Amino acid sequence: MDLLPNIQVDLLQEDPEPLEEENVSDGEGEPELVVKEILEEDIPEVQERSIIPEEDIFVEKKPKKAPPQKKEKKKRVMSEKQKEALAKGRAKRAANKKAQKKEAPLPEAVAPVTKQYIQENNSATASNGMTDEKLQELIFQGVSQYDSLRKKRKAEKRESQAKQQHDNKVFNDINSALNRTSDPWASAFNF
């Protein structure tokens, strides 16, 4: 073990000087320790507490409350005047109901729908003055225009997707030729 250096430490052999509070001497000899007198007034009195059993420590104490006293409410008693007004109102309402039943018209009998009725009301012209054939032709033109627009948009979308795939393929080919990856940490674990 020649590698480690030998270090010598000079330890203090002298005793440390005592504090001024500890140095009270009567002239000659050993210093005496000063003990401060503790006044009895400074010390609080110790009060003993009663010991609580362990079972009672974890039991929740509920304060005892006197059950609330319910006051009984008196039932309302209607006066004779109120009773007469209610009876009068009931009689009036009953009379109105009877009058409405008498006045209500009976529903008319619904005439059965016949083929002749359908042919009379279903003419060759619609309410806007166009014939059924003209109306069908206009609907067909509108649908075909929408369909042609939809096909045009589909073709444009296919072209843009094809261009995007081609660009991605070229980009990946160049990166693979240069040994590049899109992950910056990929080369961190190559040993």
Number of structural domains found in the chain: 1
* Separation of alpha carbons 179 and 173, rounded Å: 10
Judge whether 138 lies within some domain: yes
Lookup: tokens for 53:
């059993």
Domain housing 157: 130-178
Q: What is the mean pLDDT of residues 67-93?
A: 90
Q: In 3D, which of 35, 39, 14 has the Cα closest to residue 24?
A: 35
Judge whether 174 lies within some domain: yes
Q: Determine the pLDDT at residue 105.
A: 67
Q: What is the mean pLDDT of residues 53-78?
A: 77
Judge whether 78 lies within some domain: no
Judge whether 146 lies within some domain: yes
Judge whether 136 lies within some domain: yes
The pTM score is 0.28
Judge whether 55 lies within some domain: no
Judge whether 135 lies within some domain: yes
DSSP letters of 80-121? Answer: HHHHHHHHHHHHHHHHHHHHHHHHSPPPPPPPPP-HHHHHHH
Judge whether 152 lies within some domain: yes
- What is the overall mean pLDDT for the chain? 77
Q: Is the pLDDT of residue 170 over 90?
A: yes
CA dihedral 178, 184, 186, 189 (to 10 degrees): 120
